[in-house]
Every structure is written in structure tokens, then in C-alpha cells.
Amino acid sequence: MAAELAGKLPLRSEHDIVMARQQVRAMCQSLKFSLVDQTKMVTAASELARNTLIHGGGGDMRWNVLEDGARRGLQLHFEDEGPGIANMQLAMSDGWTSGTGMGLGLPGSKRLVNDFDIESAPGKGTRVSITKWK
């Protein structure tokens, strides 16, 4: 899978989650991330893609390669039009789980990346952006 500077993948099925992981791994490799950083980014992307599908009813993953001087990074956006997160404080607390996924949850994904931003409101869907810098 060729690494593009920006793009979008639908997240509508388990197969799409696999495709998202493969795309993120290819992007990380093209940016020459260490194996540890590749694994962190793929793991966070997998968790967030699964959340988008399971809790958001499907959505999209968009990506951008970032440059800041000599620094390069990968930014991922996960967006859905689902029910949103009713209790953000609970969702962002360690140890809370909906009972599905890898058990990392949102706080686990946040720890794996350099930048993490989430916007959600009941009835308005959820948008999560993560960035990993090399």
C-alpha cells in the first residue's frame, strides 16, 4: 500500500479496520518511525478505528503527514456521526471500559501518541485527532 501525504478511508466494517491499520503502518514506515513508535501509532489507530465503528456506527479515518521544520509527523482523524459520548470524564478515565475493544480505551490511546484531541457531544458524533512525531 503506497503511503500518501493525505487521504481518507471509510470505517464501515472489520475489514476497514484492518485496512486502516495497514495504511497507518505504511505511513509510519515511510516516515521512518522506530518499530516501537510504529506499534504505538498502529495500536492507537486500531483502538480508535474500532471505537468509530462499534460506538459511532461507522465513520472515516483521515490522515495527514505533517512537517514542522525538520520534524515530521503523522496526524490521524477519526470521525463519526454516532450518538456521541455522554460522559467524557468517565470515558477518559483509566479502568473504564465499555466491554469491547482492546481494553485500552481513550486514555490508553492518548498515552501512545504525542498529541490527542477529542470533541464529542450527545447526538453530534465524535471526532478524535492524534499525532505522533518522529
For the stretch 39-94, pLDDT in tens is 999 999 999 999 999 999 999 999 999 998 889 999 999 999 999 998 888 888 87
For 74-94, letters b (16+ CB in 10 Å) and e give bbbbbbbebbbbeeeeebeee
> Which domains, ranges and CATH numbers included, belong to the chain?
6-133 (3.30.565.10)
Report the C-alpha dihedral over residues 27, 91, 16, 43, rounded to 10 degrees: 40
DSSP letter for each residue of 95-128: T---S-TTS-HHHHHHHHSSEEEEEE-TTS-EEE
- Report pLDDT for 90: 85
CB 123 within 8 A of CB 84: yes
**pLDDT range class, residue 100, cuts 50, 70, 90:** low
Return mean pLDDT, the chain: 91
- Longest CA pairwise span in the chain (Å): 42
pTM to 2 decimal places: 0.91
- Report pLDDT for 5: 84
pLDDT over 90 for what percent of the chain?
Answer: 77
